[in-house]
């Protein structure tokens, strides 16, 4: 339908000096010189663009076909740029489901990548409705994968301006799939607004994003610091102030701490230790750490006890803790560790003891020269479900919503009533309902009641409520009714459930370390069908990417991942060919690779073996990886659980 030509820009092409997601003061298209829209501005015609009419709904079906009532023409009256632009017009009637689209083909190098999508626009005439956090805009952006016949969300996807005076720029991103180079850009009429309007559009750009290098600096984050010790932790008296906060500055963590007590506590014994926030470790390749109190100077401290004050230094005691050392009298005197002892710096000496320090230490996995996270999964995660007819429930049974208004990741199963979390993060679950006999609804996460959504106190009253939960990719969520009643189902939905990703995991930086290490495999009986192996104890998980309940690792950012694992099995063969099999699986490319097969060397006796594998996969952000085990030619077997030698999984991003 549309042109699939890639435009490579050169020095003869007009410069675009807008600051945007493609870079600043660069050639139109992207700093890579690539724009997959061959007709971005209607300089001579509208070739490649076509209007369509799909089903009248919020999102398009495929962005082609039908009998459209909208128009998309070349405009030469006061164009936004150069001598012409596009004019996208809707008549004074409900045109939901109409739109305009453009087909394009990407390079193989841009598969499994986050691409940018941008254009300029201005309301030419009429009553155009802009969007916001809770309201859809009259026109919304989508990408259609022509190879897989699926819609790909654009983030953001709404037009947030309805100005007819000041032109605006739409800037969004979308993620391509690993097996497709053929796509369709879609501007979809999403609302039922019956007023006429016209938009001027120009400078369409689809292409790779600019790689921007910059130091990473975060906001200050408070955390709970509990003073420890090398032998016995102290017990503070009445705490007047205990305030700790940290922030990231490049490859290092900056920490501010103030403590003051107003009554005498207990000294404890040994030198005092001041822990980092949980989950972070000091990078020993950049600062000295050897369990010595005066190693790795990284900050300054002031200590006050009674009428005496000291100044001193902050040091790295080990990879998890800082320590304080003070000068006894002058800067030239010897240093003494803060803690129990004769100096009087401990918490058991005076009522008005206080510590105040500022420290900065390098952190494992952090880089000072980072690439902004432009290849993380930026897709919207959202679903709206409803009942099309009345639905009777028993006591404490799941409500199976049978109608899907939208589901961005196809994560809901109407047969079971279960929504499977596609991306880790905080999720908001909201619901409204009418019950014939009254009743309550509650959210169940992996079989556990997590709290009520709402209660209908009397028959045929409508009530609503919401609940926010931390979820890992792979978690199973459902809504239950606590009593025997009938929930009203009609269109528009009177009983409905909506799911929205409130805040996902922090977007990884391209040079940031991503990895997990879990051990203690959970025992289970082996069979002829592969089963996921789960590992229950975390050593580290930089981005909360592994779900120990399901054994599923969800890649937080696209790239190459090295997967290593080892487990122990015990198998009873039925013949000399009986074997145990370890497989490693990757959803991005659909691979399931047998990485180790062990038998009993041509005998039929019960045997114990270690299975292990090491493989590197390409993974798309949001793609999953698992390790599974099964047996062949055996009457049974067991995957053995236990400590580190009885099973571990390690996954690290290597590129």
- Angle at CA 80, nearest 5°, toward 18 and 196? 125
**Quick one: CA dihedral 525, 526, 529, 530, positive or negative?**
positive
- Residues 552 and 532: their CA atoms lie apart, in Å, by 8
Two domains, one topology: 7-210 and 221-368: no
Q: What is the pLDDT of residue 342?
A: 52
Q: What is the pLDDT of residue 604?
A: 55
Q: What is the CATH architecture assignment of 382-503?
A: Sandwich (2.60)
Q: What is the pLDDT of residue 629?
A: 85
Domain ranges of the chain: 7-210, 221-368, 382-503, 515-653
Count Cβ atoms within 10 A of the Cβ of residue 538 and give its class: 0-12 exposed, 13-18 middle, 19 or more buried: middle
Q: Does 492 sit behind a cis peptide bond, omega within 30 degrees of 0 on the bond before it?
A: yes
Q: What is the CATH architecture assignment of 515-653?
A: Sandwich (2.60)
Q: What is the pLDDT of residue 375?
A: 42
- Residues 168 and 173: their CA atoms lie apart, in Å, by 17
Q: What is the pLDDT of residue 211?
A: 55
Nearest CA-CA partner of 308 in 354, 271, 263: 354
Nearest CA-CA partner of 103 in 207, 184, 6: 184
DSSP 290: S
Name 330's Cβ contacts closer than 8 Å, sequence gap at least 6: none
pTM for the model stands at 0.42
495-519 pLDDT tens trace: 888 888 765 444 455 456 788 888 8
- Fold observed for domain 221-368: Adenovirus Type 5 Fiber Protein (Receptor Binding Domain) (2.60.90)
Radius of gyration of the chain (CA): 30
Q: Which residues of the chain have pLDDT under 70?
A: 1-33, 133-134, 210-216, 290-295, 328-334, 342, 368-380, 438, 456-458, 462, 491-493, 502-512, 573-578, 598-605, 633-636, 642-646
- Residues 570 and 634: their CA atoms lie apart, in Å, by 11
- Residues 376 and 342: their CA atoms lie apart, in Å, by 54
Would you tell me which CATH number, out of the four given (3.30.420.480, 1.10.1510.10, 3.90.226.10, 2.60.120.260), belongs to the domain 7-210?
A: 2.60.120.260
Q: What is the pLDDT of residue 585?
A: 87
Q: What is the pLDDT of residue 337?
A: 85
Count Cβ atoms within 10 A of the Cβ of residue 109 and give its class: 0-12 exposed, 13-18 middle, 19 or more buried: exposed
Average pLDDT, the chain: 81
Q: What is the pLDDT of residue 453?
A: 83
Contact 451, 467 (CB under 8 A): yes
CA distances to 203, 313, 519, 581 from 235, rounded to whole Å, are 65, 23, 34, 54
Dump the DSSP string for 487-544: E---SS-SSEEEEEEEE-PPPPPTTS--EEEEEEEPPEEE-SS-EE--EEEEEEETTS
Q: Does 601 sit behind a cis peptide bond, omega within 30 degrees of 0 on the bond before it?
A: no
Contact 272, 257 (CB under 8 A): no
Q: How far is CA 123 from the centre of its chain?
A: 34
């Amino acid at each position: 339908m549309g042109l699939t030509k890639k435009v490579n820009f050169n020095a003869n092409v007009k410069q675009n000096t807008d600051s945007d997601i493609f870079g600043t003061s660069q050639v139109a298209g992207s700093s890579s010189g690539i724009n997959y829209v061959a007709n971005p501005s209607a300089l001579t015609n509208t070739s490649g663009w076509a209007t369509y009419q799909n089903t009248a709904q919020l999102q398009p079906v495929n962005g082609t076909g039908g009998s459209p009532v909208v128009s998309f023409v070349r405009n030469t009256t006061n164009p936004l740029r150069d001598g012409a632009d596009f004019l996208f017009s809707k008549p004074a009637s409900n045109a939901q489901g109409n739109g305009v689209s453009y087909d394009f083909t990407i390079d193989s190098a841009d598969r499994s990548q986050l691409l940018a999508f941008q254009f300029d626009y201005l309301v030419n005439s009429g009553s155009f409705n802009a969007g916001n956090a809770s309201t859809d805009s009259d026109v919304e952006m989508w990408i259609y994968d022509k190879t897989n016949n699926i819609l790909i969300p654009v983030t953001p996807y709404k037009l947030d301006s309805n100005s007819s005076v000041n032109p605006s720029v739409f800037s969004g991103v979308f993620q391509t799939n690993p097996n497709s180079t053929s796509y369709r850009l879609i501007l979809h009429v999403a609302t039922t607004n019956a007023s006429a309007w016209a938009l001027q559009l120009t400078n369409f750009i689809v292409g790779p994003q600019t790689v921007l290098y910059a130091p990473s600096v975060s906001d200050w984050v408070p955390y709970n610091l509990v003073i420890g010790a090398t032998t016995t932790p102290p017990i503070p008296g009445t705490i007047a102030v205990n305030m700790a906060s940290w922030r990231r500055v490049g490859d290092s963590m900056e920490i501010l701490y103030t403590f003051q007590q107003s009554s005498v506590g207990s000294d404890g014994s040994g030198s005092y230790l001041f822990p980092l926030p949980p989950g972070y470790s000091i990078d020993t390749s950049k600062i000295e750490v050897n369990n010595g109190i005066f190693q790795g100077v990284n900050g300054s401290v002031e200590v006050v006890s009674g009428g005496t004050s000291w100044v001193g230094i902050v040091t790295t005691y080990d990879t998890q803790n800082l320590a304080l050392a003070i000068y006894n009298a002058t800067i030239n005197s010897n240093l003494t560790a803060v803690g129990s002892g004769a100096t009087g710096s401990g918490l058991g000496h005076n009522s008005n003891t206080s510590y105040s320090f500022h420290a900065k230490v390098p952190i494992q996995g952090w880089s000072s020269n980072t690439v902004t996270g432009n290849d993380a999964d930026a897709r919207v995660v959202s679903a709206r479900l409803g009942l099309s007819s009345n639905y009777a429930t028993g006591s404490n049974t799941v409500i199976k919503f049978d109608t899907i208004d939208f589901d961005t990741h196809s994560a809901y199963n109407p047969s079971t009533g279960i929504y499977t979390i596609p991306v880790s993060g905080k999720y908001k679950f909201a619901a409204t309902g009418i019950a014939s006999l009254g009743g309550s609804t509650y959210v169940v996460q992996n079989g556990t009641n997590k709290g009520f959504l709402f209660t209908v106190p009397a028959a045929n009253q409508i009530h609503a409520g919401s609940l926010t939960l931390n979820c890992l990719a792979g978690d199973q969520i459902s809504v239950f009714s606590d009593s025997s009643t009938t929930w009203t189902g009609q269109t528009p939905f009177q009983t409905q459930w909506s799911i929205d990703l409130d805040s996902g995991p922090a977007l990884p930086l391209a040079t940031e370390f991503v990895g997990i290490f879990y051990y203690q495999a959970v025992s289970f009986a082996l069979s002829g069908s592969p089963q996921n192996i789960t590992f229950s104890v975390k050593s580290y998980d930089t981005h909360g990417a592994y779900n120990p309940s399901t054994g599923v690792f969800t890649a937080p950012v696209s790239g190459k991942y090295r997967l290593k694992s080892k487990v122990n099995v015990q198998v009873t063969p039925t013949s000399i060919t009986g074997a145990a099999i370890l497989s490693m699986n990757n959803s991005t490319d659909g691979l399931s690779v047998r990485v180790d097969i062990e038998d009993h060397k041509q005998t039929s006796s019960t045997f114990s073996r270690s299975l292990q594998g090491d493989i590197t996969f390409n993974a798309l952000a949001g793609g999953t990886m698992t390790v599974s085990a099964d047996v062949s030619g055996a009457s049974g077997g067991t995957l053995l659980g236990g400590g580190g030698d009885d099973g571990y999984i390690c996954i690290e991003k290597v590129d």
